[in-house]
Amino acid sequence: MPRVRARSIGADDVTHDVLIAPGFTKITRASAEEISVRRDEPAWLRERRLDAWRLYQSLDFPHESDEEWRRTDVRSMIFDAVRPLSASAPIASPAQLPAALRSAWDESEALAGRVVQQDSDVVYTQLADDLRARGVILTDLHKAAKEHPELVRRYLSSAVPAGEWKYVALNAALWSGGCFLFVPKDVEVALPLQLLTVVGAEGLAVFPRTIIVAEAGSRVAFIDETRSADGETKTFVSGVTEIYAGDGARVEYYSVNRWGHNVYNFNTARAIVGRDAQLVTMAAGIGGKMTKMRIDTSMPEPGASADLLGVTFGDGDQHFDYNTLQDHIGAHTKSDLQFKSAMTDSSSIVWYGITRIEPTASASEANQTSRNLLLSEHAKAAPIPILEIEAYDVLKCSHGATAGPVDENELFYLQARAIPRAVAERMLVEGFLADVVNRIPNAGLRERVMRAVLAKAGATPELGEDDVFEDDVFSDGGFR
Amino acid sequence: MAEELLKIEGLTVSVEGKQILNGVDLVVNRGEVHAIMGPNGSGKSTLANALMGHPRYAITGGTVLFKGEEISALTPDKRARKGLFLAFQYPTSIAGVTMVNFLRQAMKAVRGEDVPVREFREKLLATMKLLKVDQEFARRYVNEGFSGGEKKRAEILQMGILDPDLAIMDETDSGLDIDALRTVAEGVNALTTPKLGIVLITHYQRLLNYIKPQFVHILYQGRMIESGGPELALQLEAEGYDPIIEKYAPALAGATGERA
């Protein structure tokens, strides 16, 4: 079979069934068909996959002159060896996950429901009975397409169209497993729901797909956590997340990337935030060899608000590249982006973030802050804030971007209080990132993210101790 | 005979290549309170920062003996562990690090061993009460969003937790209204023990109404130009710096003391 390099393929070329994906010798149109057949999918869904495949074939790779892509050149990445599919049998309990992935499971965590995807398949789904009774749907996307076709047809590829870019089209053609969450009007899901995606097989291409629909007045927090062991062969991930927050709804979406060091991770997440609705997103970048993640928030209706958080700890030769868009369309919309990173060794991070205030978005407020701590002379950070203001009466529009080593005055201050330099540095890194992590409303997740970050920093997490301690200090014997 | 805590001889200090201190001498014994006064720009804060070991302040000459040991080459944390304390004029704020975590780490570091929770709690609560600080204070990030008065009280709180032998207070009175000044001064007095030496660096006499020094020194253009008892501060309050400057540095008079 010919190896097709990453180049433009004209639409005329795309008639033959065996045409393969550029850079992927084992992924063909037949792969999309195989997924569809194996899942016994309805005709409309099969058609969508094949349409997406055609889009994939016809789309160019982003050009290096494209500002969002010039720091992460995907055209040079060849994923010859990756296979598009694997088969995993359902499991009765997460205890049956392969040993290397079992640690990803935290039994003690207070959750209202979980979905576990292993490689290409969802192998475990659980949802609290009372939520099910109130109409909440949490299931894999194949099942949802059969049982709730009207919902899936409406929301699949609506926020993130298949033709958006090459790997999004590839996902639309090849997604497998996937997660569908639907929260009916006014239903409040008090505890978070979790999607845990674990990849045990090496050399796989994984295409996670998540749809979150929160109807008007509902509330839900969703944790999207990914895990794999550090493997030898390249693993390719192209994920898409679509979030629909209805009027007055509150949706929290936490992406926790803990992929192994052999994973090339492409992700597109987009939220459409309704009137007076609130969105909180967090991108926690911990694992992966390379991560290119897009997080877009569209606020087409008045009164919507979005808090966009990011925390990344890079080491080794990890590369993280985040693109964000805060799109203000409705009046009185508000967004606040707070991205922080600590980068060591020869790791690198790019953040390219656009705030767009459209002419209709009068009296809107927006902020972008990207702060990057460089812990080694070889670590790099490129924070790039962009403001596109088209409205006349913006209330506030601010941005700030910094990259540099630990502050000398802060170090001196801690050292002047007897704290040795190494401990002081660790405290400063921890504090720097905790400032963002502490905004996660859920205590369990907050601590887990912080522990994962600190473990990379080589620190012994003392977080829990401090929490206990604080309570301890003031719960008795104080002057309350 | 009084035990000598600090002995500075011929100290010269440069900041970014520019010499600020031109040979400072000072001896502080246990139990003594010294005030160092001087117009802005005379080198008061430079002296404080150099003694604590700020990397930007290079000691280029002279000796600094603390408890008989030369400390010029020691890192700031080692100086602090020996019992030296600096209350900063402009305390740094550190987002993400809570006061309670910071204070506990500091107490652990100065002791060189873990401090039992109960003991730390008692010490913290007692010191906070003394300084009239709300308990919420401990949960906040270090100096983050603190008012001027809160920052200065937080400094004295740290002094109470660290229990130093020598406390240098760099313009602890600046930016405080009279009530806040009184609270801070009362806190310092309550923490004062016969073993403690204090160096008060100040521009104004008013702090000295609350914390009484036995010795007053005038620092001017990087040199101690005059030393005396408390009456020297009162004289300054009445006459300003000019008469003393004119007396001791006639050649430079007129070009000085106006940088405020």
How distant is the Cα of B253 from the closest Cα of chain A, in angstroms?
A: 35
Report how many Cβ contacts below 8 Å link chain A to chain B: 114
The pLDDT of residue B260 is above 50: no
- In this prediction, residue B249 carries a pLDDT of 61
Residue A439 inside a domain? The answer is: yes
Neighbouring residues of A426: CB distance < 8 A, sequence distance ≥ 6: A457, A458, A459
Placement of tokens 């020094």 in the chain = B213
Residue A440 inside a domain? The answer is: yes
Contact B104 A423 (CB under 8 A): no
Q: Pick the closest to residue A275 from A241, A250, A308, A243 (CA basis).
A: A250
Domain count, chain B: 1
The pLDDT of residue A45 is above 90: yes
State how far the alpha carbon of B206 is from the alpha carbons of A20, B112, B228, in Å: 83, 38, 17
Span A51-66, average pLDDT: 89
Between A21-30, A100-109, B78-87, the lowest mean confidence (pLDDT) is in A100-109
Nearest to A478 among B85, B125, B142 (CB): B125
User: Amino acid identity of B201?
Assistant: I
Nearest residue in chain B measured CA to CA from A413? B92
The pLDDT of residue B129 is above 50: yes
| Confidence tier at A88 by pLDDT (50, 70, 90) | confident
Residue B106 inside a domain? The answer is: no
The pLDDT of residue A66 is above 50: yes
CATH number of B8's domain: 3.40.50.300
Q: Which of chain A's residues have a Cβ under 8 Å away from the Cβ of B77?
A: 415-421, 424
Span A364-383, average pLDDT: 96
Pairing mode of beta strands A121-127, B33-37? unpaired
Placement of tokens 């149109």 in the chain = A29
User: Amino acid identity of B71?
Assistant: I
Contact A423 B88 (CB under 8 A): no
Q: Which of chain B's residues have a Cβ under 8 Å away from the Cβ of A421?
A: 75, 77
Contact B96 A433 (CB under 8 A): yes
Residue B124 inside a domain? The answer is: no
Q: Pick the closest to residue A253 from A277, A286, A221 (CA basis).
A: A221
| Confidence tier at B53 by pLDDT (50, 70, 90) | very high
Contact A428 B97 (CB under 8 A): yes
Q: Which of chain B's residues have a Cβ under 8 Å away from the Cβ of A478?
A: 125, 135
Q: B-contacting residues of A 422-441, CB under 8 Å? A: 423-424, 427-428, 430-435, 438
Residue A361 inside a domain? The answer is: no
Contact B80 A420 (CB under 8 A): no
Span A160-174, average pLDDT: 95
Q: Does B248 touch chain A (CB under 8 A)?
A: no
| Confidence tier at A3 by pLDDT (50, 70, 90) | very low
Q: Does A479 touch chain B (CB under 8 A)?
A: yes
Residue A419 inside a domain? The answer is: yes
- pLDDT tens readout for residues A385-421: 999 999 989 999 999 999 999 999 999 999 999 999 9
| Confidence tier at A65 by pLDDT (50, 70, 90) | confident
Neighbouring residues of B129: CB distance < 8 A, sequence distance ≥ 6: A479
Q: Which of chain B's residues have a Cβ under 8 Å away from the Cβ of A461?
A: none
C-alpha span between A29 and A174 (Å, rounded): 9
C-alpha span between B166 and B83 (Å, rounded): 6
Between A290-299, A329-338, B44-53, B248-257, the lowest mean confidence (pLDDT) is in B248-257
State how far the alpha carbon of B207 is from the alpha carbons of A207, A224, A255, B186, in Å: 69, 58, 54, 11
Average pLDDT score, chain B? 91
Q: Which of chain B's residues have a Cβ under 8 Å away from the Cβ of A469?
A: 100, 104, 117
C-alpha span between A447 and A444 (Å, rounded): 5
In our burial notation (b when 16+ CB lie closer than 10 A, e otherwise), range A396-418 reads ebebebebeebeebbbbbbbbbb
Nearest to A417 among B80, B95, B139 (CB): B80
Q: Output the furthest CA–CA distance in chain B (Å, rounded).
A: 60
- pLDDT tens readout for residues A195-233: 999 998 888 999 999 999 999 999 999 999 999 988 888
The pLDDT of residue A115 is above 90: yes
Mutate to test the interface with A, among B52, B79, B94 (most CBs of A within 10 A): B94
How distant is the Cα of B201 from the closest Cα of chain A, in angstroms?
A: 17
C-alpha span between A434 and A340 (Å, rounded): 10
Q: A29-38 vs A166-174: helix axis angle to the nearest 10?
A: 40
| Confidence tier at A23 by pLDDT (50, 70, 90) | confident
How distant is the Cα of B54 from the closest Cα of chain A, in angstroms?
A: 6
- In this prediction, residue A431 carries a pLDDT of 92
Tokens describing residue B145: 């969003």
Task: State the CB neighbour count (10 A cutoff) for residue B27.
Answer: 15
Pairing mode of beta strands B141-142, B94-98? antiparallel
- In this prediction, residue B70 carries a pLDDT of 97
Tokens describing residue B147: 């008012």
Q: Pick the closest to residue A205 from A265, A276, A249, A282 (CA basis).
A: A265
Contact B98 A466 (CB under 8 A): yes
C-alpha span between B64 and B5 (Å, rounded): 10
User: Amino acid identity of A339?
Assistant: F
DSSP chain B: -PPEEEEEEEEEEEETTEEEEEEEEEEEETT-EEEEE--TTSSHHHHHHHHHT-TTEEEEEEEEEETTEE-TTS-HHHHHHHTEEEE-SSPPPEEEEEHHHHHHHHHHHHHTS---HHHHHHHHHHHHHHTT--THHHHSEETTT--HHHHHHHHHHHHHHH--SEEEEESTTTT--HHHHHHHHHHHHHH--TT-EEEEEESSSGGGGTS--SEEEEEETTEEEEEE-HHHHHHHHHH-SHHHHHHH-GGGTTSSS---
How distant is the Cα of A432 from the closest Cα of chain B, in angstroms?
A: 5
Average pLDDT score, chain A? 88
Q: Does A417 touch chain B (CB under 8 A)?
A: yes
Residue A149 inside a domain? The answer is: no
The pLDDT of residue B253 is above 60: no
The pLDDT of residue A479 is above 60: no
Q: Which domain holds residue B226?
A: 4-90+164-252
Residue B40 inside a domain? The answer is: yes
Residue B259 inside a domain? The answer is: no
How distant is the Cα of A473 from the closest Cα of chain B, in angstroms?
A: 6
Q: Select the highest-mean-pLDDT range: A62-66, A358-362, B200-204, B205-209.
A: A358-362
Nearest to B75 among A421, A427, A435 (CB): A421
| Confidence tier at A186 by pLDDT (50, 70, 90) | very high
The pLDDT of residue A149 is above 90: yes
Tokens describing residue A78: 């060849």
Domain count, chain A: 1
Q: Does A478 touch chain B (CB under 8 A)?
A: yes
Tokens describing residue B146: 């603190």
- Torsion angle, alpha carbons of B16, B20, B23, B25, to 10: -110
Between A134-148, A289-303, A362-376, B193-207, the lowest mean confidence (pLDDT) is in B193-207
Contact B77 A416 (CB under 8 A): yes
Neighbouring residues of B257: CB distance < 8 A, sequence distance ≥ 6: B39, B42, B220, B241, B242, B245
The pLDDT of residue B19 is above 90: yes
For residues A75 and A242, the model is more confident at: A242
Between A70-84, A171-185, A427-441, the lowest mean confidence (pLDDT) is in A70-84
pTM confidence score: 0.83
Residue A2 inside a domain? The answer is: no
How distant is the Cα of A412 from the closest Cα of chain B, in angstroms?
A: 6
Q: Which domain holds residue A452?
A: 406-473
Q: Do B204 and B173 meet the contact criterion of CB atoms below 8 Å apart?
A: yes
Nearest to A469 among B77, B102, B117 (CB): B117
Q: A-contacting residues of B 99-118, CB under 8 Å? A: 100-102, 104-106, 109-110, 117
Q: Does A474 touch chain B (CB under 8 A)?
A: yes
Q: B99-111 vs B148-162: helix axis angle to the nearest 10?
A: 30
Residue B208 inside a domain? The answer is: yes
